[in-house]
């Protein structure tokens, strides 16, 4: 997969995205978001949504197993 870029992030969202990209599982992402101060959770959830959309946009062809995996992330 090519490098995914997300335009329009503010500094806080960019920092959150950097942390999220290092995570390997959905459980890690969910634990990270739960650990955030409530004022940062909305930013983190927005970043996750933007990441998912960016990955979807980057995929040229998607087989059924990949579709199922990505749908389960929602």
Taking only the tens place, the pLDDT of each residue in 4-44 is: 678 889 999 999 999 999 999 999 999 999 999 998 999 99
51: phi then psi, degrees, rounded to nearest 5: -65, -45
Q: Where are the domains of the chain?
A: 11-72
Whole-angstrom Cα distance, residue 25 to residue 38? 22
pTM: 0.70
pLDDT at 1 over 60: no
pLDDT at 56: 74
Taking only the tens place, the pLDDT of each residue in 19-30 is: 999 999 999 999
């Amino acid at each position: 997969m090519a490098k995914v870029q997300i335009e329009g992030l503010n500094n806080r969202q960019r920092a959150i995205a950097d942390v999220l990209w290092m995570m390997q599982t959905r459980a890690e992402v969910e634990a990270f978001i739960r650990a955030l101060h409530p004022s940062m959770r909305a930013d983190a959830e927005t970043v996750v949504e933007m990441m998912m959309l960016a990955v979807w946009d980057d995929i040229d062809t998607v087989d059924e197993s990949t579709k199922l995996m990505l749908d389960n992330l929602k």
